[in-house]
Amino acid sequence: MSIERLDTGTRMSQAVIHGDTIYLAGQVGDPGDTAEKQTEQALQRVDDLLARCGSSREHLLQVTIWVASMAAHFDEVNAVWDAWVPEGAAPVRAAGEAKLALPELKVEIIAVAARA
């Protein structure tokens, strides 16, 4: 089975397709924006990558969300997520608190999807 990589750099690819499964790298928003805005931006990047890979949010299988501070940002992240995730097509999901790559980042979203 072939492996296809999108936007491959020295350290990582933004997406890897193996068979009918799509793996996305962690997507973030613009450093310094609010948690709400960063979540919107990260989910837009998920949408864009999935479209390039021949899929969509309706085909998500699993999502992991890292939040810099659950106490400070989790409600904002969930409000954006709840409005974005398709009704009846919610993937399995995990969320946790983590120190992200930059102190200005508040959320990172990692996704696995099936091809449409």
Q: Give the domain ranges of the chain.
A: 3-114
DSSP class of residue 37 equals H
Question: What is the average pLDDT across 79-98?
Answer: 98
pLDDT at 113 over 90: yes
Residue with tokens 């890292």: 66
Q: What tokens does 45 get? A: 């990047």
Helices 70-84 & 35-52 angle (0-180, nearest 10)? 40
Q: Please write the tens of the pLDDT for every residue from 36-57.
A: 999 999 999 999 999 999 999 9
Domain 3-114: state its class: alpha beta
Cβ-proximal residues to 84 (8 Å cutoff; 6+ apart), any chain: 43, 57
pLDDT at 1 over 90: no
What's the pLDDT band for 80 if we cut at 50, 70, 90?
very high
What's the pLDDT band for 16 if we cut at 50, 70, 90?
very high
| Nearest alpha-carbon partner for 65 in 20, 110, 17, 18 | 110
Mean pLDDT value across the chain: 97
